[in-house]
Structure 1
Protein backbone atom coordinates (compact mmCIF):
# COMPACT_ATOMS: atom_id res chain seq x y z
CA UNK A 1 0.00 0.00 0.00
CA UNK A 2 1.47 3.30 -1.08
CA UNK A 3 1.33 6.27 1.25
CA UNK A 4 -0.66 9.12 -0.32
CA UNK A 5 0.08 12.78 0.31
CA UNK A 6 -2.51 15.25 -1.05
CA UNK A 7 -0.62 18.36 0.10
CA UNK A 8 3.01 17.75 -0.76
CA UNK A 9 3.71 21.49 -1.03
CA UNK A 10 1.59 22.51 1.93
CA UNK A 11 -1.17 25.09 1.61
CA UNK A 12 0.05 26.52 -1.73
CA UNK A 13 -1.66 24.09 -4.10
CA UNK A 14 -5.07 24.00 -2.34
CA UNK A 15 -5.05 27.79 -2.02
CA UNK A 16 -4.27 28.22 -5.72
CA UNK A 17 -6.85 25.62 -6.71
CA UNK A 18 -9.51 27.44 -4.67
CA UNK A 19 -8.50 30.79 -6.18
CA UNK A 20 -8.81 29.33 -9.69
CA UNK A 21 -12.24 27.89 -8.95
CA UNK A 22 -13.47 31.22 -7.55
CA UNK A 23 -12.04 33.19 -10.47
CA UNK A 24 -13.53 30.83 -13.05
CA UNK A 25 -16.87 30.80 -11.24
CA UNK A 26 -17.06 34.61 -11.13
CA UNK A 27 -16.24 34.95 -14.83
CA UNK A 28 -18.65 32.15 -15.67
CA UNK A 29 -21.48 33.79 -13.74
CA UNK A 30 -20.93 37.09 -15.51
CA UNK A 31 -20.85 35.42 -18.93
CA UNK A 32 -23.90 33.29 -18.13
CA UNK A 33 -25.79 36.43 -17.11
CA UNK A 34 -25.34 37.73 -20.66
CA UNK A 35 -27.05 34.67 -22.16
CA UNK A 36 -30.59 35.71 -21.24
CA UNK A 37 -30.02 39.35 -22.19
CA UNK A 38 -28.55 38.47 -25.60
CA UNK A 39 -30.57 39.68 -28.57
CA UNK A 40 -29.89 36.81 -30.98
CA UNK A 41 -29.02 33.13 -31.17
CA UNK A 42 -25.45 33.90 -32.19
CA UNK A 43 -24.86 36.08 -29.13
CA UNK A 44 -26.42 33.47 -26.84
CA UNK A 45 -24.15 30.79 -28.28
CA UNK A 46 -21.10 33.03 -27.88
CA UNK A 47 -21.78 33.85 -24.24
CA UNK A 48 -22.69 30.23 -23.56
CA UNK A 49 -19.33 29.10 -24.96
CA UNK A 50 -17.45 31.64 -22.85
CA UNK A 51 -19.38 30.66 -19.72
CA UNK A 52 -18.71 26.96 -20.40
CA UNK A 53 -15.00 27.62 -20.76
CA UNK A 54 -14.88 29.76 -17.61
CA UNK A 55 -16.79 27.26 -15.46
CA UNK A 56 -15.69 23.99 -17.03
CA UNK A 57 -12.20 24.92 -18.17
CA UNK A 58 -11.06 27.20 -15.34
CA UNK A 59 -13.26 26.67 -12.27
CA UNK A 60 -13.31 22.85 -12.60
CA UNK A 61 -10.59 21.43 -14.85
CA UNK A 62 -7.75 23.87 -14.11
CA UNK A 63 -8.63 23.72 -10.42
CA UNK A 64 -8.42 19.90 -10.55
CA UNK A 65 -4.92 19.81 -12.01
CA UNK A 66 -3.67 22.62 -9.82
CA UNK A 67 -4.70 20.53 -6.82
CA UNK A 68 -3.07 17.46 -8.42
CA UNK A 69 0.29 19.26 -8.37
CA UNK A 70 0.33 18.61 -4.64
CA UNK A 71 -0.61 14.93 -5.02
CA UNK A 72 2.18 12.41 -4.44
CA UNK A 73 2.54 8.70 -3.69
CA UNK A 74 5.58 7.51 -1.78
CA UNK A 75 7.74 5.04 -3.66
CA UNK A 76 6.66 5.92 -7.20
CA UNK A 77 6.68 8.77 -9.66
CA UNK A 78 3.43 9.99 -11.20
CA UNK A 79 3.02 10.62 -14.90
CA UNK A 80 -0.05 11.54 -16.96
CA UNK A 81 -1.48 10.27 -20.20
CA UNK A 82 -1.86 13.40 -22.35
CA UNK A 83 -4.80 12.24 -24.57
CA UNK A 84 -6.86 11.25 -21.52
CA UNK A 85 -5.97 14.54 -19.84
CA UNK A 86 -7.16 16.45 -22.92
CA UNK A 87 -10.33 14.33 -22.96
CA UNK A 88 -11.05 15.31 -19.35
CA UNK A 89 -10.88 18.96 -20.43
CA UNK A 90 -13.39 18.39 -23.23
CA UNK A 91 -15.70 16.52 -20.85
CA UNK A 92 -15.71 19.38 -18.32
CA UNK A 93 -16.33 22.14 -20.87
CA UNK A 94 -18.88 20.07 -22.81
CA UNK A 95 -20.85 19.11 -19.70
CA UNK A 96 -21.12 22.71 -18.51
CA UNK A 97 -22.06 23.81 -22.02
CA UNK A 98 -24.90 21.27 -22.18
CA UNK A 99 -26.16 22.34 -18.77
CA UNK A 100 -26.14 26.01 -19.75
CA UNK A 101 -27.91 25.21 -23.03
CA UNK A 102 -30.67 23.43 -21.09
CA UNK A 103 -31.30 26.14 -18.50
CA UNK A 104 -30.44 29.11 -20.71
CA UNK A 105 -33.20 28.60 -23.29
CA UNK A 106 -36.86 28.97 -22.49
CA UNK A 107 -38.40 29.60 -19.13
CA UNK A 108 -36.30 28.47 -16.18
CA UNK A 109 -38.21 25.88 -14.18
CA UNK A 110 -37.50 23.03 -11.82
CA UNK A 111 -37.43 20.44 -14.61
CA UNK A 112 -34.92 22.35 -16.70
CA UNK A 113 -32.78 23.13 -13.67
CA UNK A 114 -32.66 19.51 -12.50
CA UNK A 115 -31.94 18.21 -16.00
CA UNK A 116 -29.15 20.74 -16.51
CA UNK A 117 -27.73 20.01 -13.06
CA UNK A 118 -27.75 16.26 -13.76
CA UNK A 119 -25.85 16.56 -17.05
CA UNK A 120 -23.37 19.06 -15.64
CA UNK A 121 -22.81 17.21 -12.36
CA UNK A 122 -22.33 13.89 -14.14
CA UNK A 123 -19.86 15.58 -16.48
CA UNK A 124 -17.91 17.08 -13.57
CA UNK A 125 -17.65 13.66 -11.89
CA UNK A 126 -16.65 12.06 -15.21
CA UNK A 127 -13.97 14.73 -15.69
CA UNK A 128 -12.54 14.07 -12.24
CA UNK A 129 -12.29 10.31 -12.58
CA UNK A 130 -11.08 10.55 -16.19
CA UNK A 131 -8.28 12.79 -14.94
CA UNK A 132 -7.50 10.25 -12.24
CA UNK A 133 -7.48 7.43 -14.81
CA UNK A 134 -4.89 9.41 -16.78
CA UNK A 135 -2.35 8.89 -13.99
CA UNK A 136 0.47 6.45 -14.71
CA UNK A 137 2.42 5.02 -11.75
CA UNK A 138 3.96 1.75 -10.48
CA UNK A 139 0.79 0.58 -8.83
CA UNK A 140 -2.95 0.06 -9.21
CA UNK A 141 -5.67 2.46 -8.13
CA UNK A 142 -8.56 1.50 -5.87
CA UNK A 143 -11.59 3.51 -4.77
CA UNK A 144 -13.93 3.40 -1.80
CA UNK A 145 -17.42 3.07 -3.37
CA UNK A 146 -19.15 5.03 -0.60
CA UNK A 147 -16.88 8.05 -0.93
CA UNK A 148 -17.07 7.89 -4.71
CA UNK A 149 -20.88 7.98 -4.48
CA UNK A 150 -20.65 10.90 -2.04
CA UNK A 151 -18.39 12.84 -4.43
CA UNK A 152 -20.86 12.26 -7.28
CA UNK A 153 -23.74 13.53 -5.12
CA UNK A 154 -21.71 16.62 -4.23
CA UNK A 155 -20.99 17.19 -7.93
CA UNK A 156 -24.70 16.92 -8.84
CA UNK A 157 -25.82 19.29 -6.08
CA UNK A 158 -22.99 21.75 -6.74
CA UNK A 159 -23.71 21.78 -10.48
CA UNK A 160 -27.44 22.37 -9.94
CA UNK A 161 -26.79 25.24 -7.54
CA UNK A 162 -24.17 26.68 -9.91
CA UNK A 163 -26.60 26.69 -12.85
CA UNK A 164 -29.32 28.28 -10.73
CA UNK A 165 -26.91 30.99 -9.63
CA UNK A 166 -25.75 31.48 -13.22
CA UNK A 167 -29.30 32.21 -14.35
CA UNK A 168 -30.45 34.34 -11.40
CA UNK A 169 -27.48 36.25 -9.97
CA UNK A 170 -26.86 39.67 -11.55
CA UNK A 171 -25.38 42.08 -8.97
CA UNK A 172 -21.65 42.39 -8.29
CA UNK A 173 -21.59 41.47 -4.60
CA UNK A 174 -23.95 38.56 -5.18
CA UNK A 175 -21.68 37.26 -7.96
CA UNK A 176 -18.65 37.41 -5.69
CA UNK A 177 -20.47 35.64 -2.84
CA UNK A 178 -21.78 32.99 -5.23
CA UNK A 179 -18.30 32.43 -6.68
CA UNK A 180 -16.88 31.91 -3.19
CA UNK A 181 -19.56 29.31 -2.44
CA UNK A 182 -19.06 27.58 -5.77
CA UNK A 183 -15.32 27.41 -5.10
CA UNK A 184 -15.98 25.59 -1.83
CA UNK A 185 -18.32 23.16 -3.60
CA UNK A 186 -15.91 22.38 -6.46
CA UNK A 187 -12.96 21.85 -4.12
CA UNK A 188 -15.11 19.83 -1.77
CA UNK A 189 -16.09 17.48 -4.58
CA UNK A 190 -12.45 17.13 -5.69
CA UNK A 191 -10.96 16.31 -2.31
CA UNK A 192 -13.87 14.03 -1.41
CA UNK A 193 -13.15 12.02 -4.54
CA UNK A 194 -9.42 12.06 -3.78
CA UNK A 195 -10.05 10.74 -0.28
CA UNK A 196 -11.67 7.66 -1.85
CA UNK A 197 -8.40 6.75 -3.60
CA UNK A 198 -5.97 4.08 -2.50
CA UNK A 199 -2.80 2.95 -4.31
CA UNK A 200 -1.43 -0.59 -4.24
CA UNK A 201 2.20 -0.53 -5.38
CA UNK A 202 3.55 -3.24 -7.62
CA UNK A 203 6.27 -5.50 -6.25
CA UNK A 204 8.32 -5.14 -9.41
CA UNK A 205 8.87 -1.55 -10.43
CA UNK A 206 9.04 -0.79 -14.12
CA UNK A 207 9.16 2.31 -16.20
CA UNK A 208 5.87 4.16 -16.58
CA UNK A 209 4.79 5.90 -19.74
CA UNK A 210 3.31 9.34 -19.94
CA UNK A 211 4.30 12.92 -19.14
CA UNK A 212 5.34 14.11 -15.71
CA UNK A 213 3.18 16.75 -14.07
CA UNK A 214 6.00 19.28 -14.44
CA UNK A 215 5.72 18.85 -18.20
CA UNK A 216 2.01 19.65 -18.06
CA UNK A 217 2.42 22.65 -15.77
CA UNK A 218 3.47 25.14 -18.44
CA UNK A 219 0.63 24.26 -20.90
CA UNK A 220 -1.94 24.37 -18.09
CA UNK A 221 -0.72 27.74 -16.82
CA UNK A 222 -0.66 29.20 -20.33
CA UNK A 223 -4.16 27.88 -21.07
CA UNK A 224 -5.48 29.40 -17.84
CA UNK A 225 -3.75 32.76 -18.38
CA UNK A 226 -4.83 33.17 -21.99
CA UNK A 227 -8.30 31.88 -21.20
CA UNK A 228 -8.82 34.33 -18.33
CA UNK A 229 -7.40 37.25 -20.33
CA UNK A 230 -9.64 36.37 -23.26
CA UNK A 231 -12.72 36.18 -21.02
CA UNK A 232 -11.97 39.52 -19.38
CA UNK A 233 -11.37 41.13 -22.78
CA UNK A 234 -14.63 39.74 -24.14
CA UNK A 235 -16.54 41.10 -21.14
CA UNK A 236 -14.92 44.53 -21.43
CA UNK A 237 -15.47 44.70 -25.18
CA UNK A 238 -19.14 43.71 -24.97
CA UNK A 239 -21.51 46.71 -25.28
CA UNK A 240 -23.30 47.73 -22.10
CA UNK A 241 -26.82 49.15 -21.77
CA UNK A 242 -25.41 52.68 -21.86
CA UNK A 243 -23.51 51.87 -25.05
CA UNK A 244 -26.69 50.57 -26.69
CA UNK A 245 -28.61 53.69 -25.64
CA UNK A 246 -25.86 55.90 -27.04
CA UNK A 247 -25.85 53.99 -30.31
CA UNK A 248 -29.63 54.37 -30.60
CA UNK A 249 -29.29 58.13 -29.95
CA UNK A 250 -26.64 58.55 -32.66
CA UNK A 251 -28.66 56.45 -35.10
CA UNK A 252 -31.74 58.60 -34.50
CA UNK A 253 -29.69 61.75 -35.10
CA UNK A 254 -28.27 60.44 -38.34
CA UNK A 255 -31.71 59.40 -39.57
CA UNK A 256 -33.13 62.85 -38.84
CA UNK A 257 -35.55 61.59 -36.22
CA UNK A 258 -35.99 63.18 -32.81
CA UNK A 259 -34.29 61.10 -30.10
CA UNK A 260 -36.67 59.82 -27.41
CA UNK A 261 -35.00 61.92 -24.74
CA UNK A 262 -35.70 65.16 -26.67
CA UNK A 263 -39.21 64.39 -27.82
CA UNK A 264 -41.63 67.20 -26.96
CA UNK A 265 -45.34 67.02 -26.10
CA UNK A 266 -47.71 65.08 -28.29
CA UNK A 267 -48.81 66.88 -31.51
CA UNK A 268 -52.19 68.63 -31.75
CA UNK A 269 -53.17 68.24 -35.43
CA UNK A 270 -56.72 69.54 -35.19
CA UNK A 271 -56.18 72.39 -32.73
CA UNK A 272 -58.12 70.84 -29.88
CA UNK A 273 -55.73 72.28 -27.33
CA UNK A 274 -56.25 75.85 -28.63
CA UNK A 275 -60.03 75.48 -28.78
CA UNK A 276 -60.37 74.11 -25.32
CA UNK A 277 -58.27 76.88 -23.72
CA UNK A 278 -60.93 79.69 -23.76
CA UNK A 279 -63.54 77.33 -22.39
CA UNK A 280 -61.52 76.77 -19.27
CA UNK A 281 -61.56 80.41 -18.08
CA UNK A 282 -61.81 81.12 -14.39
CA UNK A 283 -65.22 82.28 -12.95
CA UNK A 284 -65.95 86.02 -12.48
CA UNK A 285 -68.37 86.26 -9.54
CA UNK A 286 -68.16 90.05 -8.93
CA UNK A 287 -67.80 91.36 -12.47
CA UNK A 288 -64.12 92.19 -12.26
CA UNK A 289 -63.54 91.21 -15.86
CA UNK A 290 -66.17 93.71 -17.11
CA UNK A 291 -64.74 96.51 -14.94
CA UNK A 292 -61.22 95.86 -16.15
CA UNK A 293 -62.46 96.04 -19.72
CA UNK A 294 -64.00 99.55 -19.14
CA UNK A 295 -60.82 100.72 -17.50
CA UNK A 296 -58.85 100.13 -20.68
CA UNK A 297 -57.78 103.22 -22.73
CA UNK A 298 -60.36 104.29 -25.29
CA UNK A 299 -63.29 102.68 -23.50
CA UNK A 300 -66.53 104.77 -23.71
CA UNK A 301 -68.83 105.11 -20.72
CA UNK A 302 -72.55 104.93 -21.56
CA UNK A 303 -74.46 108.20 -21.56
CA UNK A 304 -76.48 108.88 -18.42
CA UNK A 305 -79.21 110.53 -20.44
CA UNK A 306 -79.69 107.62 -22.71
CA UNK A 307 -79.86 105.15 -19.88
CA UNK A 308 -82.18 107.09 -17.49
CA UNK A 309 -85.70 105.86 -17.96
CA UNK A 310 -87.16 109.12 -16.52
CA UNK A 311 -85.91 111.15 -19.46
Structure 2
Protein backbone atom coordinates (compact mmCIF):
# COMPACT_ATOMS: atom_id res chain seq x y z
CA UNK A 1 0.00 0.00 0.00
CA UNK A 2 1.17 3.53 -0.83
CA UNK A 3 1.31 4.66 2.81
CA UNK A 4 3.85 1.99 3.80
CA UNK A 5 5.67 1.13 0.56
CA UNK A 6 9.42 1.70 0.19
CA UNK A 7 10.68 3.27 -3.03
CA UNK A 8 13.96 2.59 -4.81
CA UNK A 9 15.35 5.55 -2.87
CA UNK A 10 14.55 3.70 0.37
CA UNK A 11 11.98 6.08 1.89
CA UNK A 12 9.12 4.40 3.76
CA UNK A 13 6.22 6.71 4.62
CA UNK A 14 3.65 6.42 7.38
CA UNK A 15 0.32 8.23 7.70
CA UNK A 16 -0.37 7.11 11.28
CA UNK A 17 2.71 8.20 13.21
CA UNK A 18 0.60 9.09 16.26
CA UNK A 19 -1.70 6.10 16.04
CA UNK A 20 -5.42 6.88 16.04
CA UNK A 21 -5.06 10.38 17.50
CA UNK A 22 -4.82 12.25 14.20
CA UNK A 23 -7.43 10.17 12.30
CA UNK A 24 -9.98 10.59 15.10
CA UNK A 25 -9.32 14.33 15.44
CA UNK A 26 -9.58 14.73 11.66
CA UNK A 27 -12.84 12.76 11.56
CA UNK A 28 -14.40 14.87 14.34
CA UNK A 29 -13.55 18.09 12.51
CA UNK A 30 -14.87 16.67 9.21
CA UNK A 31 -18.16 15.80 10.95
CA UNK A 32 -18.39 19.24 12.54
CA UNK A 33 -17.82 21.04 9.25
CA UNK A 34 -20.30 18.78 7.44
CA UNK A 35 -22.98 19.17 10.13
CA UNK A 36 -22.71 22.95 10.13
CA UNK A 37 -22.63 23.13 6.34
CA UNK A 38 -25.69 20.92 5.99
CA UNK A 39 -27.54 22.90 8.61
CA UNK A 40 -26.73 26.25 7.00
CA UNK A 41 -27.80 24.96 3.59
CA UNK A 42 -31.05 23.59 5.01
CA UNK A 43 -31.67 26.95 6.67
CA UNK A 44 -31.12 28.75 3.37
CA UNK A 45 -33.63 26.50 1.62
CA UNK A 46 -36.29 27.49 4.15
CA UNK A 47 -36.02 31.13 3.03
CA UNK A 48 -37.00 33.07 -0.05
CA UNK A 49 -34.50 32.92 -2.91
CA UNK A 50 -33.46 36.52 -2.33
CA UNK A 51 -32.55 35.76 1.31
CA UNK A 52 -30.51 32.57 0.84
CA UNK A 53 -27.06 33.90 -0.06
CA UNK A 54 -25.81 34.54 3.49
CA UNK A 55 -26.68 31.08 4.76
CA UNK A 56 -25.32 29.39 1.64
CA UNK A 57 -22.06 31.29 2.11
CA UNK A 58 -21.86 30.12 5.74
CA UNK A 59 -22.50 26.56 4.57
CA UNK A 60 -19.68 26.83 2.03
CA UNK A 61 -17.38 28.28 4.66
CA UNK A 62 -18.19 25.53 7.17
CA UNK A 63 -17.72 22.61 4.78
CA UNK A 64 -14.63 24.07 3.08
CA UNK A 65 -12.98 24.96 6.39
CA UNK A 66 -13.87 21.57 7.86
CA UNK A 67 -12.27 19.74 4.93
CA UNK A 68 -9.17 21.94 5.09
CA UNK A 69 -8.72 21.50 8.84
CA UNK A 70 -9.37 17.76 8.60
CA UNK A 71 -6.66 17.43 5.95
CA UNK A 72 -3.93 19.19 7.90
CA UNK A 73 -4.82 17.53 11.19
CA UNK A 74 -4.49 14.19 9.42
CA UNK A 75 -1.22 15.32 7.82
CA UNK A 76 0.29 15.87 11.26
CA UNK A 77 0.51 12.08 11.41
CA UNK A 78 2.29 11.81 8.05
CA UNK A 79 6.03 11.14 8.17
CA UNK A 80 8.72 10.02 5.76
CA UNK A 81 11.70 8.35 7.40
CA UNK A 82 14.73 10.62 7.91
CA UNK A 83 13.05 13.51 6.04
CA UNK A 84 11.96 16.79 7.58
CA UNK A 85 8.66 17.87 6.05
CA UNK A 86 7.82 21.58 6.01
CA UNK A 87 4.93 23.54 4.54
CA UNK A 88 4.64 26.58 2.29
CA UNK A 89 2.07 28.81 3.99
CA UNK A 90 0.96 30.54 0.78
CA UNK A 91 -0.05 27.26 -0.89
CA UNK A 92 -1.40 25.92 2.40
CA UNK A 93 -3.94 28.71 2.77
CA UNK A 94 -4.55 28.90 -0.97
CA UNK A 95 -5.93 25.37 -0.60
CA UNK A 96 -8.39 26.72 1.99
CA UNK A 97 -9.55 29.39 -0.45
CA UNK A 98 -9.99 26.79 -3.19
CA UNK A 99 -12.01 24.54 -0.88
CA UNK A 100 -14.41 27.31 0.19
CA UNK A 101 -14.74 28.74 -3.32
CA UNK A 102 -15.40 25.51 -5.21
CA UNK A 103 -17.60 24.00 -2.49
CA UNK A 104 -19.51 27.28 -2.57
CA UNK A 105 -20.15 26.95 -6.30
CA UNK A 106 -21.72 23.54 -5.72
CA UNK A 107 -23.80 24.67 -2.75
CA UNK A 108 -25.06 27.82 -4.44
CA UNK A 109 -25.94 25.82 -7.55
CA UNK A 110 -28.13 23.43 -5.59
CA UNK A 111 -29.39 26.19 -3.30
CA UNK A 112 -30.86 28.13 -6.20
CA UNK A 113 -31.59 25.42 -8.76
CA UNK A 114 -33.34 23.08 -6.32
CA UNK A 115 -33.20 19.31 -5.91
CA UNK A 116 -33.15 18.39 -9.56
CA UNK A 117 -31.03 15.55 -10.85
CA UNK A 118 -28.99 17.91 -13.03
CA UNK A 119 -28.34 20.34 -10.15
CA UNK A 120 -27.37 17.60 -7.70
CA UNK A 121 -25.04 15.84 -10.14
CA UNK A 122 -23.36 18.99 -11.42
CA UNK A 123 -23.14 20.47 -7.92
CA UNK A 124 -21.76 17.19 -6.57
CA UNK A 125 -19.11 16.95 -9.28
CA UNK A 126 -18.01 20.57 -8.82
CA UNK A 127 -17.92 20.28 -5.03
CA UNK A 128 -16.13 16.92 -5.15
CA UNK A 129 -13.50 18.31 -7.48
CA UNK A 130 -13.07 21.19 -5.03
CA UNK A 131 -12.47 18.72 -2.19
CA UNK A 132 -9.90 16.86 -4.28
CA UNK A 133 -8.26 20.10 -5.41
CA UNK A 134 -7.92 21.19 -1.79
CA UNK A 135 -6.25 17.90 -0.90
CA UNK A 136 -3.74 17.86 -3.74
CA UNK A 137 -2.98 21.57 -3.49
CA UNK A 138 -2.39 21.02 0.22
CA UNK A 139 -0.02 18.18 -0.68
CA UNK A 140 1.77 20.51 -3.12
CA UNK A 141 2.49 22.84 -0.19
CA UNK A 142 4.81 20.22 1.32
CA UNK A 143 8.51 21.04 1.19
CA UNK A 144 11.11 18.27 1.56
CA UNK A 145 14.46 17.20 0.06
CA UNK A 146 12.70 14.81 -2.27
CA UNK A 147 9.68 14.36 -4.50
CA UNK A 148 6.21 12.86 -4.20
CA UNK A 149 4.86 10.46 -6.79
CA UNK A 150 1.26 9.27 -7.05
CA UNK A 151 -0.42 6.07 -8.18
CA UNK A 152 -2.80 7.44 -10.82
CA UNK A 153 -5.43 4.73 -10.31
CA UNK A 154 -5.69 5.45 -6.59
CA UNK A 155 -5.78 9.19 -7.26
CA UNK A 156 -8.76 8.69 -9.57
CA UNK A 157 -10.42 6.51 -6.93
CA UNK A 158 -9.95 9.25 -4.31
CA UNK A 159 -11.51 11.83 -6.65
CA UNK A 160 -14.45 9.48 -7.22
CA UNK A 161 -14.95 9.17 -3.46
CA UNK A 162 -14.83 12.96 -3.12
CA UNK A 163 -17.47 13.42 -5.83
CA UNK A 164 -19.70 10.75 -4.28
CA UNK A 165 -19.33 12.29 -0.81
CA UNK A 166 -20.10 15.78 -2.11
CA UNK A 167 -23.16 14.60 -4.03
CA UNK A 168 -24.43 12.77 -0.95
CA UNK A 169 -23.87 15.90 1.16
CA UNK A 170 -25.85 18.07 -1.23
CA UNK A 171 -28.64 15.50 -1.40
CA UNK A 172 -28.83 15.41 2.39
CA UNK A 173 -28.83 19.21 2.52
CA UNK A 174 -31.84 19.25 0.21
CA UNK A 175 -33.67 16.37 1.90
CA UNK A 176 -32.81 16.33 5.61
CA UNK A 177 -34.77 18.55 7.98
CA UNK A 178 -34.69 16.94 11.45
CA UNK A 179 -31.70 17.73 13.65
CA UNK A 180 -30.98 14.08 14.49
CA UNK A 181 -31.09 13.10 10.81
CA UNK A 182 -28.70 15.93 9.95
CA UNK A 183 -26.27 14.69 12.64
CA UNK A 184 -26.46 11.18 11.21
CA UNK A 185 -25.80 12.55 7.73
CA UNK A 186 -22.79 14.49 9.03
CA UNK A 187 -21.36 11.34 10.64
CA UNK A 188 -21.64 9.55 7.31
CA UNK A 189 -20.10 12.53 5.52
CA UNK A 190 -17.21 12.52 7.99
CA UNK A 191 -16.46 8.90 7.05
CA UNK A 192 -16.62 9.75 3.34
CA UNK A 193 -14.38 12.84 3.56
CA UNK A 194 -11.84 11.11 5.82
CA UNK A 195 -11.99 8.06 3.56
CA UNK A 196 -11.20 10.25 0.56
CA UNK A 197 -8.16 11.68 2.35
CA UNK A 198 -6.66 8.38 3.44
CA UNK A 199 -7.42 6.77 0.09
CA UNK A 200 -5.56 9.63 -1.59
CA UNK A 201 -2.63 9.14 0.79
CA UNK A 202 -2.42 5.51 -0.27
CA UNK A 203 -1.32 6.80 -3.69
CA UNK A 204 1.74 8.54 -2.19
CA UNK A 205 5.34 7.41 -2.62
CA UNK A 206 8.29 9.60 -1.55
CA UNK A 207 11.66 9.61 -3.33
CA UNK A 208 14.70 11.32 -1.81
CA UNK A 209 16.91 13.60 -3.86
CA UNK A 210 20.39 12.44 -3.02
CA UNK A 211 22.34 15.30 -1.45
CA UNK A 212 19.49 17.75 -1.91
CA UNK A 213 19.35 20.72 0.48
CA UNK A 214 16.34 21.32 2.66
CA UNK A 215 13.90 23.68 0.94
CA UNK A 216 12.36 26.72 2.57
CA UNK A 217 9.01 26.56 4.29
CA UNK A 218 7.38 26.43 7.68
CA UNK A 219 7.65 23.53 10.12
CA UNK A 220 4.65 21.26 10.70
CA UNK A 221 4.23 22.55 14.26
CA UNK A 222 4.11 26.15 13.06
CA UNK A 223 1.59 25.22 10.39
CA UNK A 224 -0.60 23.38 12.89
CA UNK A 225 -1.03 26.45 15.10
CA UNK A 226 -2.96 28.64 12.61
CA UNK A 227 -4.88 25.59 11.42
CA UNK A 228 -6.16 24.90 14.93
CA UNK A 229 -6.57 28.49 16.10
CA UNK A 230 -7.91 30.03 12.90
CA UNK A 231 -10.18 27.61 11.04
CA UNK A 232 -11.34 25.74 14.16
CA UNK A 233 -12.37 28.99 15.82
CA UNK A 234 -14.13 29.90 12.59
CA UNK A 235 -16.05 26.62 12.70
CA UNK A 236 -16.99 27.27 16.33
CA UNK A 237 -18.20 30.76 15.41
CA UNK A 238 -20.42 29.33 12.66
CA UNK A 239 -21.65 26.70 15.13
CA UNK A 240 -22.55 29.38 17.67
CA UNK A 241 -24.32 31.41 15.00
CA UNK A 242 -26.33 28.37 13.87
CA UNK A 243 -27.20 27.35 17.44
CA UNK A 244 -28.67 30.79 18.14
CA UNK A 245 -30.90 30.65 15.08
CA UNK A 246 -34.62 30.18 15.92
CA UNK A 247 -34.80 27.33 13.39
CA UNK A 248 -32.76 25.12 15.73
CA UNK A 249 -35.26 25.47 18.57
CA UNK A 250 -38.22 25.13 16.22
CA UNK A 251 -36.86 21.95 14.64
CA UNK A 252 -36.03 20.47 18.02
CA UNK A 253 -39.61 20.99 19.17
CA UNK A 254 -40.96 19.46 15.98
CA UNK A 255 -38.68 16.46 16.38
CA UNK A 256 -39.75 15.82 19.96
CA UNK A 257 -43.42 16.43 19.32
CA UNK A 258 -43.69 19.86 20.94
CA UNK A 259 -45.37 22.58 18.98
CA UNK A 260 -43.51 25.87 18.66
CA UNK A 261 -44.83 28.36 21.19
CA UNK A 262 -46.28 25.69 23.47
CA UNK A 263 -45.99 26.82 27.04
CA UNK A 264 -44.83 30.28 26.03
CA UNK A 265 -48.10 31.87 24.98
CA UNK A 266 -47.09 31.99 21.31
CA UNK A 267 -49.81 31.20 18.81
CA UNK A 268 -47.96 29.70 15.90
CA UNK A 269 -49.27 27.31 13.33
CA UNK A 270 -47.17 24.17 13.27
CA UNK A 271 -46.72 22.00 10.22
CA UNK A 272 -43.95 19.40 10.15
CA UNK A 273 -41.16 19.47 7.64
CA UNK A 274 -41.26 16.99 4.83
CA UNK A 275 -39.02 14.02 5.44
Once the two structures are superposed, residues 270-301 of structure 1 have per-residue CA deviations (whole angstroms, 9 ceiling, x without a partner) of xxxxxxxxxxxxxxxxxxxxxxxxxxxxxxxx
Which of 221, 231, 235 is the aligned partner of 2:242?
235
- Cα drift, residue 208 of structure 1: 1.6
Deviation string, structure 1 residues 81-125 (Cα, Å, up to 9, x no partner):
111111100111111110011111133210010110111011111
Local SS of the residue matching 2:167: helix
List per-residue Cα deviations over 1:154-185 (Å, max 9, x = no partner): 11111111111111111122111111110110
Distance of 2:87 and 2:158 partners within structure 1: 22
CA contact (8 A) 2:85 2:144 kept: yes
The within-5 A match list for 1:105-254 is 105-240=112-247
1:61 aligned residue (63, 68, 72)? 68
Higher RCO (C-alpha 8 Å, min separation 6): 2
CA 1:104 to 1:202, structure 2 compared with 1: closer, same or farther past 3 Å? Answer: same
Contact 2:85–2:220, Cα closer than 8 Å, also in 1: yes
SS at match of 1:108: coil
- For residues 232 and 131 of structure 2, what CA distance do their matches in structure 1 show? 22
Q: 3-state DSSP class of the match of 2:19?
A: coil
Matched residue, 1:23: 32
CA gap 1:237/1:73 in 2 versus in 1, 3 angstroms: same
Structure 1 length as normaliser, TM-score?
A: 0.75
Q: Tell whether the 8 Å contact from 2:113 to 2:119 is kept in structure 1 after alignment.
A: no
Match of 2:57? 49
1:34 aligns with 2:54: no
Structure 1 segments of 4+ aligned residues over 4 angstroms from their partners: none
Aligned to 2:18: 9
The 2-side partners of 1:172 and 1:87 are apart by 33
Consecutive unaligned residues of structure 1, counting only runs of 5 or more, are 251-258, 262-311
Structure of greater Rg:
1
